[in-house]
Amino acid sequence: MEQIILVGGGGHCISCIDVIQQTNRYEIVGILDKDEKVGTLISGVKVIGTDSDINKLTVKYMNFLITVGQIKSFDIRVRIYNTIKKYGGKLPVIISPAAYVSPSAYIDEGSIIMHNAVVNAKAEIGKNCIINTGALVEHEVLVGDFCHISTHAVLNGQVKLGKNSFIGSNAVIANNVSLPEEIIISAGACILKSPEKKGIYIGNPARKSDKS
């Protein structure tokens, strides 16, 4: 098996460990997290350092996966991605054996497809994305880099999602809708037409939140 290091030791990491172990393709060498967590175990995997150790670890290890979650902010995942690339690390695509990814779909580096997710025909998933448990990405959907499609969210056919965005649990995006970069769609929201501006969208049908 190939070796891999995980960067980020929170709740999303726990789910990622389960997916990785189910693939039987990678040995998880360790996790990078905060100083105070070094030496502790997360789902049986040891925290071996912090993200400041990435430059040293790329000398010995090739594969990394960013296991920091992403809800409101994409900044941390982007920063870690850029650090790994700077020092020559690779970010493989991780696909749960319990997911379905069409042979005609495209998944870019560093993205993870979690249990029971579906990525259908001719869909394209960008770099360092999370397609979370039970999410549905339908035919010809385009998902930009650094996006999180949360649990059981639905992106219907030919949706276009700009980079650095978050789609909340059980949200539904109607066919042919285009979403701008850095948009946040709250859990359970329903988007029926293309929003003109980024921000936080809530409700069914969705409206832009006054707080965004």
Task: Give the whole-angstrom CA distance, residue 176 versus residue 130.
Answer: 21
Domains and CATH numbers, the chain: 2-86 (3.40.50.20), 94-202 (2.160.10.10)
- Per-residue pLDDT reduced to its tens digit, 6-34: 999 999 999 999 999 999 999 999 999 99
pLDDT of res. 70: 82
Contact in structure between 113 and 101 (CB atoms under 8 Å): yes
- Model confidence pLDDT, tens digit, residues 123-155: 999 999 999 999 999 999 999 999 999 999 999
Measure CA of the first residue to CA of the last residue in the chain; give whole Å.
45
Tell me, what's the pLDDT at 211?
A: 73
Helix/strand/coil for 68: coil
Instruction: Tell me the Cα Rg of the chain.
Output: 17
In whole angstroms, give the CA distance from residue 61 to residue 204. Answer: 46
Residue labelled with tokens 């379905």:
100
Share of the chain above pLDDT 70, in %: 100
pLDDT digits (tens, 9 = 90+) for 34-48: 999 999 999 999 999
What's the whole-number mean pLDDT along residues 153-182? 97
Pairing of strands 166-167, 148-149: parallel
Q: Can you give the pLDDT at residue 212?
A: 63
Is residue 179 within 8 Å of 162, Cβ to Cβ? yes
Quick check: 17 and 6 in contact, CB under 8 A?
yes
C-alpha 78/C-alpha 154 separation (Å) is 24
